[in-house]
């Protein structure tokens, strides 16, 4: 199973895409995260953030037609311009959005430490007991612990769900 497939399964366990366009945004986000992040736990964290911040993987959030935080937060990861990598456009390049989100997470961890609210800087701009910060982290950790990533395990997916199969 690829990391992108594993991330797609995680997001589908957390949300139900409203339609095909939302599912396509979910899948493309999983591929962008997998292309930029090699650590499954960090990749799951980004997918956890995107699942909620994207409005259920709304394509209009993905392309920045819809924005959060009074127009400042952009893309499915809701990054602010201060986290952009110079010369990259998070509204046109999901991988650029992932890189910007990784910068925001690193800043938040430096500011808030590595405890349960380490993402508070990312989610609210300051450290403290910010509920979403803890929720994103817990959701990713529960998924990673309950569904360890094994790249050599193929998956069989049908309408009733996915399961690992012997190669």
The pLDDT of residue 158 is 63
Q: What is the pLDDT of residues 104-128, one digit of tens each?
A: 999 999 999 988 889 998 888 889 8
Average pLDDT over every residue of 138-142: 94
The pLDDT of residue 83 is 87
Q: Which CATH number fits domain 3-164: 3.40.50, 2.50.20, 1.10.530, 1.10.3470?
A: 1.10.530
d(CA 43, CA 26): 14
The DSSP letter of residue 82 is: G
CA distances from 122 to 79, 117, 127, 147, 163 (A): 8, 10, 9, 26, 34
Q: Are 57 and 26 contacting, i.e. CB atoms less than 8 angstroms apart?
A: yes
- The residue ranges of every structural domain in the chain are 3-164
d(CA 17, CA 102): 24
The pLDDT of residue 167 is 47
* Matching residue, tokens 């509920």: 131
pTM exceeds 0.85 for this model: yes
Strands (E), 50-160: 155-158
Q: Are 58 and 79 contacting, i.e. CB atoms less than 8 angstroms apart?
A: no
């Amino acid at each position: 199973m690829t990391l992108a497939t594993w991330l797609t399964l995680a997001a589908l366990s957390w949300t139900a895409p409203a339609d095909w366009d939302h599912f396509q945004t979910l899948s493309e986000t999983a591929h962008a995260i997998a292309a930029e992040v090699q650590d499954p736990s960090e990749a799951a964290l980004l997918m956890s953030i995107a699942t909620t911040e994207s409005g259920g993987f709304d394509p209009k959030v993905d392309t920045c037609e819809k924005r959060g935080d009074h127009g400042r937060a952009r893309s499915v990861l809701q990054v602010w311009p201060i986290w952009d990598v110079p010369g990259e456009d998070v509204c046109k390049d999901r991988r650029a959005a992932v890189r910007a989100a990784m910068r925001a997470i690193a800043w938040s961890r430096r500011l808030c430490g590595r405890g349960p609210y380490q993402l508070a800087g990312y989610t609210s701009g300051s450290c403290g007991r910010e509920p979403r910060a803890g929720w994103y982290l817990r959701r990713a950790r529960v998924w990673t612990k309950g569904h360890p990533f094994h790249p050599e395990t193929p998956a069989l997916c049908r309408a009733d769900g996915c399961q690992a199969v012997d190669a």
